[in-house]
Structure 1
Amino acid sequence: MIDFTLDPQGIATLCWNMPGRSQNVLNGESCEALFAAIERAVSDDAVNGILMTSAKPDFIAGGDLEWLLSASDAAELFGRVMRLHRALRSLETCGKPVAMALPGATLGGGLEIALAGHYRVAADNPKARFGLPEVTLGLLPGGGGTQRLPRLIGIQKSLPLLLEGKRLKAAEALKLGILDAVVAPGTEVEAAREWLLAQHDIRQQPWDAKGYRIPGGAVSSPAVQQVFMASNALLRAKTYGNYPAPANILSCVYEGLITNIDTGLQTEARYFVETVMTPEAKNMIRTLFFSMGEANKLAGRPAGVPVQKYSKIGVLGAGMMGAGIAYVAAKSGIEVVLIDMNQEAAEKGKAYSRALVDKQVERGQLAQDKAQALLGRITPTTDYARLDGAEIVVEAVFEDRAIKADVTKKSEAVLAADAIFASNTSTLPITGLAEASARPANFIGLHFFSPVERMPLVEVIVGKQTSQATLARSLDLIQALGMTPIVVNDSRGFYTSRVFSSYVLEGLAMLREGIAPALIENAGLMAGMPVGPLALTDEVSSELVYKIDRQTRADLGDAYQPRPGHDVAAKMVELGRIGKKAGMGYYEYPAGGKKHLWSGLAELFPLAQSQPDVQSLIERLIAVQAVETVRCMEEGVLTTARDADVGAILAWGFPAFRGGPISWVQTVGIAQFVEQCERLSTQHGARFAPPALLKTMAEKGEGFYQ
């Protein structure tokens, strides 16, 4: 666990080496080993200096989140945290010099332990990152990070690291003063040892020295007071008070740094426990760490299918979506044949990648030779014969069945019998598109999101005839691209488009009811959505909403069920106010100015005399997405709560603090959510009616997550 050695010079080396794990983590077992090792080194008179390092490529990855997720007793957790604080205080005040030799990544609890050393030397490892990213999972540092980091480098420099969870390269951490030295990989232990042997005076931390002052100014200084005021204002504007962790981090720093270090650590421990116990932290840990990790490890991949290695793929359609797919594939080392109707369009698609790599070269993020190699892997053409040898073709042409059928047949005439054909459609059922294929078992949906290079999710749609081998091999491609997959079964709108549209249409329905546009937009933002529903409709265009509804109506005939909001989109299309791309929609987009809501909305949709309170609108906007997600579970479109939650957060920005629609239902409580849906259904219509699945689960006392 932690190997202890003592050399003839009196240097005690505490080497982290947790068995059965690729990384060292802080949990109950490793903390006990740490406490014992510190006690032994501190109390042994033969020990003149203490060196802590790792036998693994990285130092310590942070806390064991499964350990934290299971925490239910606040008093017990507070006791655990305070034991760690006491042990680290014992280490840094023992009078013996303490050096930390960091071979690789030192994050979260790992950096907090390193900060308890008097000297930190890191290997110049390009992959290593240093930081306190706890806030990105709804947590705050609980091993002294909110107290030692500001005392070491100052409040102003530490707040961005604490509030944004920034991960620094070794050179950046050295410049900030978090590290004392960066040396060649493999020499960090010797460098730490040399420093220890050179120490002849009793070592202590700066904050334990007489006359210590916080770098950059104390909490009470006018400059730092302004920093806190600005941070509070920005935090409120950005999060609307939905995320406890960053607010508690600010409180920890402010309250802790007006006291001594020991009182400050107690303050941090209290806020840490309070934060861990919040549903927001539990939701974010579950979805952003565990569920995301399972998805990235291809938890939905069928067993028994050999892993597919990709060397060449085809991309049909060189528009923004196809060009983005071509870029991420070429970036991953895969040869790409990018096909469009004419050579000019195909070349334009490649130019998209050129613009991206040129910007990276300019910023020093990519070497010129690697940029040229990436571009060299993309072949723009009109010739389908160039698809010969491709293991998969991804079609990203217009949402038109006839065009898709045509390119399917042209591709299959060239492809090998076992090659996969994937459609990037966002709404058209895969089973129907596969009718144009001579080998429907090899036909699948791969729904990328725009812009592809920034949107990590791929929605994998399994048609009725899609084979398990095709699913497995398609997931292998997504992993090769470094993206995150969710797996859904075929249906109209699949999962992401279907539930995303429920948010947009609910906003349009509110507008039709006479609710003030600004109130609707603010309710969306306060609910935690990245954009209000009217602004989001402008982004995707009312024309698209209208076309999808028209196609659905034609396909379903008498089975078509109209939904409130579609008539609003139709009216905007009639007026030519289709959205941002037209320069006018629910918003005006003045040249060189800031967008603002169109004043004509008041005449088109007169305001009701009585306006609802914003909380009722927030409830509707979130509940409509959650209930539609449950319907997808009930219908078998979704098969796991994991994919539902990961997909919602990554695809359309469902609020992370809610953990995803299914996590949110679980947070509210199944029985309570059924009651909420029944009330909303009575007030606003059948779209809120609770599915039978929910009622059954409520009766049996079941949950989506155990």
Structure 2
Amino acid sequence: MLFEGKSITCTMLEGGIVEFQFNLQNESVNKFNRDTLAEFNEATATLAKNKDVKGVVVTSGKDVFIVGADITEFLSLFAAGRDKLIEWTKQANAIFNGFEDLPVPTVCAINGIALGGGMEMALSCDYRIASTSAQVGLPEVKLGLIPGFGGTTRLPRLIGSDNALEWIATGNQYKAEDALKVGAVDAVAEPGKLKDAAIQMVKQAIEGKLNWQKRREQKKSALKLNKMESLMAFSTSKAFVAGKAGPHYPAPMEAVNVVEKAARLARDEALLIEHEGFANVALSDQASSLITIFLNDQLIKKGAKKAAKAAKPIHWAGVLGAGIMGGGIAYQAASRGTPMAMKDIKPEALDLGMSEASKILLKGVEIGKITNQQMAKTLASITPTLEYSTLKDCDIVVEAVVENPKVKDSVLCEMESVLGDKAILASNTSTISIDLLAKNLKRPENFCGMHFFNPVHKMPLVEVIRGKKTSEETIATVVAWASAMGKSPIVVNDCPGFLVNRVLFPYFHGFSLLLRDGADFTAVDKVMEKFGWPMGPAYLLDVVGLDTAVHAANVMAEGFPDRMKKEFKDAIEALYEQKRFGQKNGKGFYAYSQDKKGKPKKDADPVAFDIIKSTGVGSKEFDKQDIIDRMMIPMLIETVRCLEEKIVATPSEADMGLVYGIGFPPFRGGALKYLDTIGLDKFIARAEQFKDLGKLYEPTETMRDMAKKGQKYYSL
């Protein structure tokens, strides 16, 4: 053994070949933390001094290669300021350079995932050979960053600037075969033959059959682009990236600028450009927010794994109600391996539910995501039925009938009478109290809320709602099953609207107040879309359905009359009374038709303007910041109330509920992260300017206390 550490070992094989293996102790994956980087430096220095070393093969002792940098460790570096961050990146890159400059050929055997720093480690080798199951890429832009361990320098010199910029600016992962096509890897091998193939490749380099010195020189030199080629390549890339990323995500454009500025420089000078670019984005609010989302997502996954240990197994499940939601739930569970029974009282409803599942699956076949055989298998595992008895042996049944407490009560009680004593019942209600729905059940400990979001196959969130009598085993089982279905489950306590709708309707209330005071709904939509929402409030209400919105608003007003009861007829109610329900019947705030591709197309409708005008005080233009504040302040304060009342356990879960459930702008990190970014003192001062609009605009006493102490939600 030439070197042995807690992350890296170096073992001499035959012919002077060294196996340089990453195998981080007490972890399921390899990642670059500070200790690993220190060992990387030490192990490299050991090999550089050893005259018996003729070549190096880099391997992994895990099922993956290296997943990237340990972002949790580096957050403190970001907080240390620009100068210290740049100094650290210089030191880190000196380690990668030291490995790249070893006086012997190096080959990397990529056995699984090699992302971010893992891919940059592979790029510092002379050659790369990937397992057929490997996935590689530089996904840093998805965290608001750019590659910081030499990725923007080495990859363009290896695969050309066009290919490299596509890889870096999109942050996509690539299969081994796709990486081979562009030259990011040099060969692909079956998993069982990977190490031997890598050893054979380094032997060929040692014997002079592969010109490893030329390959290395290519990575260390300037890009081979003349002025015209450079102008064309980077102008095209900038236009493409600007169109895709938009103004709220600066990292992709920073990556293009870094590659362009460094194009005519050799490696060491190019890396100095990369260090500056990395600091530019690492210290941005967007990076802080996107990293927070990444860490929050990891927290949710960790909670789901913990729940799985306490969960009951789900072998056979059912859904009551075969509409769009019921069909979506049946599809989602069946596509992830849970056979489903789908029950309704009407054959045509069952046809609709099966049609919904088929439509989603057909789209998957069209884009090559699944095969016809997989589609057939999924459909075959959904059993449509008109009888409760078909579901009697289910381990769990999700009720997804009309949002009416009396109907739900009747259906749930009838279903419970058929099910086994240990089976779980869950309701896909979006607003109705779980304790109310549990009132007539004989086994309320086996009952909870399981709130999916529409469309089920696209929206990642599931709210798991705990009633007063819900058992921990029930919660654990539903969380584990939601996770197995590919969803991100968040556990919340029972209250009107739970977390997401309770927070969303104050936002809609702010919208209603703006319209009452003369705002143009199309102008509000444009401002809020520029703020970062996927759609403005009027368009969102049309998608949700104005009938659904009116019902939910009434539930919220009854639950929180001091804040959410309206003293006026608002535009939403007025449109609903005129039977304008939104997209579902082709007219709401907007009028809907179909474009050439058959997708809904919205247009401003004079009739809607006239209806809205009758509820307000005429027309008035509002300052963009005023629109943002009047919309966002109620939502942010209500999120804080949910945290203070323990409806949701942590800021992380609250924020992920908003990001995954209603599309809260990810680059802002969620409501509580956004409050941290603004600063509570500034936020409260702004809220005070709108206090005449009602209690929804009134910060809590805890918020005021935190502001005085300079506290933040993510540092508590």
1:695 and 1:660 map into 2 onto residues whose CA distance is 20
1:572 is the counterpart of 2:575: yes
Q: Which residue of 1 aligns with 2:602?
A: 595
Q: Decide which moves more: 450-459 or 589-598.
A: 589-598
1:143 and 1:116 map into 2 onto residues whose CA distance is 9
Q: Which residue of 2 aligns with 1:491?
A: 495
Q: Say what the alpha-carbon RMSD is for the aligned residues.
A: 2.7
Q: Decide which moves more: 267-276 or 61-70.
A: 267-276
1:205 and 1:649 map into 2 onto residues whose CA distance is 48
Say how many residue pairs are matched: 697
Q: Which residue of 2 aligns with 1:224?
A: 233
Q: Decide which moves more: 196-205 or 32-41.
A: 196-205
Deviations 1:61-97 (A, max 9, x none): 1000111222222333222211232232333344422
Assess if the C-alpha contact under 8 Å between 1:95 and 1:204 holds in 2: no
Q: 3-state SS of the aligned residue for 2:128?
A: strand
1:578 and 1:695 map into 2 onto residues whose CA distance is 40
The residue identity in structure 1 corresponding to 2:664 is: F
Q: 3-state SS of the aligned residue for 1:413?
A: helix
1:678 and 1:586 map into 2 onto residues whose CA distance is 31
2:560 and 2:296 map into 1 onto residues whose CA distance is 39
Summarize the alignment of residues 234-313 of structure 1 with structure 2, pairs less than 5 Å apart.
Answer: 234-235=243-244, 238-239=245-246, 241-286=247-292, 288-298=293-303, 306-313=310-317
Q: Decide which moves more: 156-165 or 14-23.
A: 156-165
Assess if the C-alpha contact under 8 Å between 1:219 and 1:254 holds in 2: no
Q: Which residue of 1 aligns with 2:3?
A: none
Quote the offset at 1:38 in angstroms: 2.0
Q: Which residue of 2 aligns with 1:671?
A: 681
The residue identity in structure 1 corresponding to 2:656 is: V
Summarize the alignment of residues 649-668 of structure 1 with structure 2, pairs less than 5 Å apart.
Answer: 649-668=659-678
Q: 3-state SS of the aligned residue for 2:570?
A: helix
Q: 3-state SS of the aligned residue for 1:487?
A: strand
- Give the alignment partner of residue 120 of structure 2, picking from 112, 124, 130: 112
Quote the offset at 1:469 in angstroms: 2.4
Assess if the C-alpha contact under 8 Å between 1:526 and 1:618 holds in 2: no
Q: Decide which moves more: 626-635 or 601-610.
A: 601-610
1:122 and 1:29 map into 2 onto residues whose CA distance is 26
Q: 3-state SS of the aligned residue for 2:63?
A: coil
2:383 and 2:429 map into 1 onto residues whose CA distance is 23
Q: Decide which moves more: 395-404 or 266-275.
A: 266-275
Q: Decide which moves more: 337-346 or 387-396.
A: 337-346
Summarize the alignment of residues 221-620 of structure 1 with structure 2, pairs less than 5 Å apart.
Answer: 221-235=230-244, 238-239=245-246, 241-286=247-292, 288-298=293-303, 306-551=310-555, 555=558, 561-563=564-566, 567-592=570-595, 594-600=601-607, 603=610, 604-605=612-613, 611-620=621-630
Q: 3-state SS of the aligned residue for 2:426?
A: strand
Q: Decide which moves more: 204-213 or 373-382.
A: 204-213
Summarize the alignment of residues 614-653 of structure 1 with structure 2, pairs less than 5 Å apart.
Answer: 614-653=624-663
Assess if the C-alpha contact under 8 Å between 1:26 and 1:63 holds in 2: yes
2:494 and 2:643 map into 1 onto residues whose CA distance is 13
2:456 and 2:700 map into 1 onto residues whose CA distance is 34
For residues 556 and 367 of structure 1, do their structure 2 counterparts lie closer, same or farther at Cα, with a shift above 3 Å needed?
closer
Q: Which residue of 1 aligns with 2:4?
A: none
The residue identity in structure 2 corresponding to 1:372 is: A
1:143 and 1:374 map into 2 onto residues whose CA distance is 43
Deviations 1:230-269 (A, max 9, x none): 135314xx53x22232232222122222433322211111
Assess if the C-alpha contact under 8 Å between 1:504 and 1:536 holds in 2: no
Quote the offset at 1:109 in angstroms: 0.5
Q: Decide which moves more: 151-160 or 694-703.
A: 694-703
Assess if the C-alpha contact under 8 Å between 1:509 and 1:565 holds in 2: no
The residue identity in structure 1 corresponding to 2:689 is: R
Quote the offset at 1:379 in angstroms: 0.9
Q: Decide which moves more: 359-368 or 337-346.
A: 359-368
1:417 and 1:531 map into 2 onto residues whose CA distance is 44
For residues 25 and 301 of structure 1, do their structure 2 counterparts lie closer, same or farther at Cα, with a shift above 3 Å needed?
closer
Q: 3-state SS of the aligned residue for 2:497?
A: coil
Quote the offset at 1:203 in angstroms: 2.4
In structure 1, runs of 5+ residues without a counterpart are none
Assess if the C-alpha contact under 8 Å between 1:131 and 1:161 holds in 2: yes
Q: 3-state SS of the aligned residue for 1:444?
A: strand
Summarize the alignment of residues 24-103 of structure 1 with structure 2, pairs less than 5 Å apart.
Answer: 24-71=30-77, 72-73=79-80, 74-103=82-111
For residues 518 and 565 of structure 1, do their structure 2 counterparts lie closer, same or farther at Cα, with a shift above 3 Å needed?
farther
For residues 210 and 52 of structure 1, do their structure 2 counterparts lie closer, same or farther at Cα, with a shift above 3 Å needed?
closer
Quote the offset at 1:672 in angstroms: 3.0
Quote the offset at 1:159 in angstroms: 2.3
For residues 584 and 370 of structure 1, do their structure 2 counterparts lie closer, same or farther at Cα, with a shift above 3 Å needed?
closer
With structure 2 as the length reference, what TM-score do the two structures score? 0.91
Assess if the C-alpha contact under 8 Å between 2:285 and 2:677 holds in 1: yes
Deviations 1:395-446 (A, max 9, x none): 0000011211121121111111121111000011111111231222222100
Q: 3-state SS of the aligned residue for 1:375?
A: helix
Assess if the C-alpha contact under 8 Å between 2:519 and 2:619 holds in 1: no
1:703 is the counterpart of 2:696: no
1:636 and 1:689 map into 2 onto residues whose CA distance is 19
2:561 and 2:202 map into 1 onto residues whose CA distance is 81
1:702 and 1:352 map into 2 onto residues whose CA distance is 48
Assess if the C-alpha contact under 8 Å between 2:222 and 2:265 holds in 1: no
1:38 and 1:210 map into 2 onto residues whose CA distance is 19
1:497 and 1:676 map into 2 onto residues whose CA distance is 24
1:372 and 1:648 map into 2 onto residues whose CA distance is 35
Q: Decide which moves more: 387-396 or 208-217.
A: 208-217
For residues 488 and 698 of structure 1, do their structure 2 counterparts lie closer, same or farther at Cα, with a shift above 3 Å needed?
same
Q: 3-state SS of the aligned residue for 1:595?
A: strand
Assess if the C-alpha contact under 8 Å between 1:508 and 1:534 holds in 2: no
Q: 3-state SS of the aligned residue for 1:486?
A: strand
Quote the offset at 1:490 in angstroms: 0.9
Quote the offset at 1:158 in angstroms: 2.3
1:689 is the counterpart of 2:692: no
1:381 and 1:506 map into 2 onto residues whose CA distance is 44
Sequence identity of aligned pairs in percent?
34
Q: 3-state SS of the aligned residue for 2:552?
A: helix
1:62 and 1:146 map into 2 onto residues whose CA distance is 15
With structure 1 as the length reference, what TM-score do the two structures score? 0.92
Q: 3-state SS of the aligned residue for 1:705?
A: helix
Q: Decide which moves more: 634-643 or 173-182.
A: 634-643
Quote the offset at 1:592 in angstroms: 2.9
For residues 211 and 337 of structure 1, do their structure 2 counterparts lie closer, same or farther at Cα, with a shift above 3 Å needed?
closer
Deviations 1:560-617 (A, max 9, x none): 8434896110122233333222222222324437523334565543897763332332
2:482 and 2:38 map into 1 onto residues whose CA distance is 40
Deviations 1:353-393 (A, max 9, x none): 23333443454433444433322221110110111221111
The residue identity in structure 2 corresponding to 1:330 is: A
For residues 331 and 52 of structure 1, do their structure 2 counterparts lie closer, same or farther at Cα, with a shift above 3 Å needed?
same
1:478 and 1:393 map into 2 onto residues whose CA distance is 13
For residues 535 and 360 of structure 1, do their structure 2 counterparts lie closer, same or farther at Cα, with a shift above 3 Å needed?
closer
